[in-house]
Amino acid sequence: MEEKIAIQGIKGSFHHQVALEYFGEEVPVDECQSFREVVDSLLNNRAISAVMAIENSTAGTILPNYALIDENNLQIKGEHYIPIFMNLMVLPGQKISEIKKVCSHPMALLQCQAFFKEYPHIELIEDTDTADVAKRISEHKLKGVAAVASKAAARIYGLEILNEGIQTMKSNSTRFLVLSSKNAAPVVTGVDKASLKFVLENKRGSLVSVLNILRDFDLDMTKIQSVPVVDIPWKYAFFIDVLFQDEEEFQKVLEILSGLTEELKVLGIYKNGLL
């Protein structure tokens, strides 16, 4: 049985790009239409690992994905960052003056607003996936319709790129997590980053106490995100990422934090993807 990697979207999507860069150019993928389906692919053993976007440097955190990881006890075993370049693509031979509609994922359209203000004759239509629009244009020979997607999508589906890098923020990038089901997580060596979830007692100074421990052990907290605890009004879970140098020292930190929190969960210990 082929060991597939679950991705949100189809071949040519940004998730597909991450799978190729992280696992290798020949890796087989399980194409999923939603992040929920990505999780199901892991839990039902259709895929051995998965790629899931978690935050964008422009648009921020994808909060529902934290819930999917936590609720389904998925394990973070790595991360990967890619720059996001949006490209306007059409059937070969078309001009931008002939384009009446542009279809793409709402996040992609949002990131290209400034570009499309220069072309008021073009109607922007939200769709489920960037690469899927490129595929439909190719398969159905759709004229007057353009997609906003990756260069890989243009190459795979035989489209012509009219304009490259049309995103407003030229330094736009996205962080992706590499996931496995809890029981399938392999042992990783050389780890220096961890993702944790904790819930605190509702009393003054509880968060400060946790942050002081991180400071005292010289841990570099690279992210903190609060998410409401669904069944308890005004109570929050905190998701944090920390960098550490010594794994034994980090285990001591976990022991201390377990006594300061109502709930402490290690979502993953892995290698920093920015190195």
Q: Per-residue pLDDT for the chain (275 aa), expressed as one digit of tens each?
A: 468 999 999 999 999 999 999 999 899 999 999 999 999 999 999 999 999 999 988 778 999 999 999 999 999 999 999 999 999 999 999 999 999 999 998 889 988 999 999 999 999 999 988 999 999 999 999 999 999 999 999 999 999 999 999 999 888 899 999 999 976 545 566 899 999 999 998 888 999 999 999 999 999 999 999 999 988 888 999 999 999 999 999 999 999 999 999 999 999 999 999 86
Provide the token pair at 270: 């892995």
Give CA–CA dist 267/271, Å, rounded.
13
Q: Where are the domains of the chain?
A: 5-83+172-184, 87-163, 193-270
Of 81, 68, 62, 66, nearest in space to 22 by CA:
81
Find out whether 168 and 84 touch, Cβ atoms under 8 Å: no
* Nearest partner of 98 among 162, 186, 167, 53, judged by Cα: 162
Report CA-CA distances (Å) from 171 to 23, 88, 107, 165, 237: 24, 18, 16, 10, 31
CATH level 3 topology of 5-83+172-184: D-Maltodextrin-Binding Protein; domain 2 (3.40.190)
Q: CATH fold of 193-270, please?
A: Alpha-Beta Plaits (3.30.70)
Check for a shared fold between 5-83+172-184 and 87-163.
yes
CATH architecture for the domain at 87-163: 3-Layer(aba) Sandwich (3.40)
Residue-wise pLDDT for 36-91, tens only, equals: 999 999 999 999 999 999 998 877 899 999 999 999 999 999 999 999 999 999 99
